[in-house]
Amino acid sequence: MGVSKTFPPDSIREAYAAGIRVFGENKVQEFGGKASALADLADIEWHLIGHLQTNKASRATELFGAIDSVDSVKLADKLNAAAEKSGKLLPVLIEVNVGGEDAKSGIAPGSEELEQILLGAPRWKNLLIRGLMTVPPYSNDPEEARPFFRRLREMSDSIRVRKLPAISMENLSMGMSHDFEVAIEEGSTCVRIGTALFGERT
Ligand SMILES: *Cc1c(COP(=O)(O)O)cnc(C)c1O
């Protein structure tokens, strides 16, 4: 996935010309401002990868093809209602705060909220819950991220074997510019690359 946040439509066109078809943006409002300038690129899959406030769920459902940062039952409720209203099936990932950092969004591993999302899935008829996403604690040394990536994969494996209704665990979104190799070694199915593709963000 090319992470194009903060970059203008022209940069996205360049990445598109190079063959990228899956893009991630982290803010509803920012992407809302760029979307119309890119509307002709019809085969792009746009993912929201940043924290989503429940009051923006319906706008996000209009703009994005997938939401990779679901982190509460309330947000799942709102997204499902919005997707139902627009007659769409919305693929989502559950964001997990594997490092337990206060400043990061995502659900705590093993928490009641996570369990409620897993068990609540059958009632969200317009959501397709397809896996987990995480941003581990930052370190210059990618090896330090390895235990967190491994933990996410183990969580995904242990959810999969429960064979819960309306939950599939086929996607594991983890790894960024500085640590994607380690993430792939630990089972990532989607690396989210910003800086290494687009350059430093200002
Ligand atoms: C910005 C961002 C990325 C990309 O980070 P880089 O280090 O620039 O590759 C990946 N995932 C999320 C959730 C982001 O917000």
CA–CA distances in Å: residue 24 to residues 29, 154, 191: 14, 25, 10
Residue 85's domain spans which residues? 2-198
For residue 76, the model assigns a pLDDT of 98
Nearest-atom number in ligand 1 for the CA of 135 is 13
For residue 9, the model assigns a pLDDT of 98
Number of domains forming the structure of the chain: 1
For residue 93, the model assigns a pLDDT of 98
Q: How far is the CA of 120 from the centre of ligand 1 (A)?
A: 29
For residue 5, the model assigns a pLDDT of 98
Q: How far is the CA of 94 from the centre of ligand 1 (A)?
A: 16
Q: How far is the CA of 176 from the centre of ligand 1 (A)?
A: 6
For residue 14, the model assigns a pLDDT of 98
For residue 29, the model assigns a pLDDT of 98
For residue 192, the model assigns a pLDDT of 98
26 within ligand 1 shell (Cβ under 6 A): yes
CA angle 100, 73, 46 (to 5 degrees): 85
CA–CA distances in Å: residue 75 to residues 70, 79, 102, 113, 135: 7, 6, 19, 11, 19
51 within ligand 1 shell (Cβ under 6 A): no
195 within ligand 1 shell (Cβ under 6 A): yes
192 within ligand 1 shell (Cβ under 6 A): yes
Nearest-atom number in ligand 1 for the CA of 69 is 13
CATH number for the domain that contains residue 30: 3.20.20.10
pTM exceeds 0.85 for this model: yes
- In which order are the strands placed within the sheet that holds 22-25? 2-3, 22-25, 45-48, 66-70, 90-95, 127-133, 167-173
Hey, whose CA ends up nearest to atom 13 of ligand 1?
Answer: 49
For residue 184, the model assigns a pLDDT of 98
Q: How far is the CA of 29 from the centre of ligand 1 (A)?
A: 17
Residue pair 71/94 in contact (Cβ under 8 Å)? The answer is: yes
Positions in the chain short of pLDDT 70:
none
